[in-house]
Amino acid sequence: MNDEEKNDAKDGLENPFKGYLANLQKHKSAINPVHEIVNCYYKMNGWEKMPKEFYTGRYAYNKLASEAKKLYEACNEVLDDCIWALDKMKYLAEKGKFDWSIITCLKHKLK
């Protein structure tokens, strides 16, 4: 037992994320990167548990998946770069007070 584990055991606390990385890696190969980008977009905006009616029009999954595929291809199929682009766009949108979507990441120069 290392010092951190001893302190946790002494305090009665357990790391809530213990085993999370191993579980994620076990299932990661089954996740489609395009769907991961869309899911990340929903989570960033707090829309992952909205009513079914919300996911129509500009928030329709198939429309966002099409945008996500274009972003994924533009980022040379590197998922980390896509997620970084989403995060950067979210920051810029909050700062500039404008509405954004996944495709907006392609319209801005995100260096």
Alpha-carbon distance of 110 to 74, in angstroms, equals 12
Q: What is the pLDDT of residues 11-70, one digit of tens each?
A: 566 655 566 556 555 555 546 889 988 989 999 999 988 888 888 988 999 999 999 999
Q: What ranges do the domains of the chain cover? A: 32-107
pLDDT tens for 86-105 read 999 999 999 999 999 999 98
Q: Quick one: pLDDT at residue 105?
A: 87
pLDDT for 30 equals 45
pLDDT of residue 23: 59
Model's pTM, two decimal places?
0.68
Contacts of 36 (CB under 8 A, 6+ apart): 79, 83
Q: Where are the alpha helices (DSSP H) in 1-111?
A: 3-11, 20-28, 33-44, 61-74, 79-96, 104-107
Q: State residue 88 phi and psi, 5-degree precision.
A: -65, -45
